[in-house]
Amino acid sequence: MLLKMSQVYVYYNSIAAIQGVSLDVEDSEIITIIGSNGVGKTTLLNSIMGINPPKKGKIVFGTEGEIQGLPPHKIARMGISSVPEGRQILTNLTVKQNLLLGAYVLKDKLKIKTGLEEILARFPILKDRKNQMAITLSGGEQQMLAIARCLMSYPTLILMDEPSLGLAPLIINQLFNLIREFKEEKRTIILVEQNANKALQVCDKAHIMQGGRFVLSGTPAEFLKNELVREAYLGDQTK
């Protein structure tokens, strides 16, 4: 088990944003969390990263043990990295500078140099624009930069928060093709995504979140057979 969350509660003041969530993530799995805005998906990812630490419950990460309550920089050094909602790249820096920021948890200069070369080879568009200011990139290019920045830390677990948000259909297809490549590489990902159709095509397991809780969990095949899921989340027009 790479990550295990047990009865996690996260509060904003007296309001419970996450209510007793338990989640098991095996090595090399892609887990998707589906749900509308405001149900707690981002808060769940932030609880793993230490940004919104749980008030109750445990989060265990591999051999590192319990990580709830640790500061984000320590959690990042353990091998958890995120692609945040809205990309959150630094637009006043160049593409290369943004990528190097993704490696801030590393101390091995050769590893950073090698990682940068590998990333630029994998994302030719970023290589072509490495000295451009990030603000000059299109929305899709900025999303690729956010993903590439995440990879610079050699993460064991990747948290992706609404990566397709605001992107054109063609770019969304390219994005999910990239996630399929990650699947073939046996990377471990927790994917928060409103585009349930696309998410279910790449994940191993799925959870629907409502009101800070998981209300349904299963495999993509089970979700696709569920009439209520199809109607509510997959745009089923057959009825």
Q: pLDDT tens for residues 165-214?
A: 999 999 999 999 999 999 999 999 999 998 999 999 999 999 999 999 99
Q: Which pLDDT score is estimated for 234?
A: 86
- For the chain (239 residues), the mean pLDDT of every run of 10, in chain order, is 97 93 97 93 97 96 95 96 93 97 95 97 96 96 96 97 94 96 97 94 96 96 92 68
Q: Which pLDDT score is estimated for 239?
A: 43
Which CATH number, 3.40.50.300, 2.60.40.3140, 3.40.50.720, 3.40.309.10, labels domain 1-79+156-239?
3.40.50.300
| Calpha distance 227→204 (Å, rounded) | 20
Domain ranges of the chain: 1-79+156-239, 87-155
Q: Which pLDDT score is estimated for 238?
A: 42
C-beta separation of 165 from 85 below 8 A? yes
Q: In 26-168, which ranges are E strands?
A: 30-34, 56-61, 65-66, 80-83, 157-161
Q: Which pLDDT score is estimated for 237?
A: 44
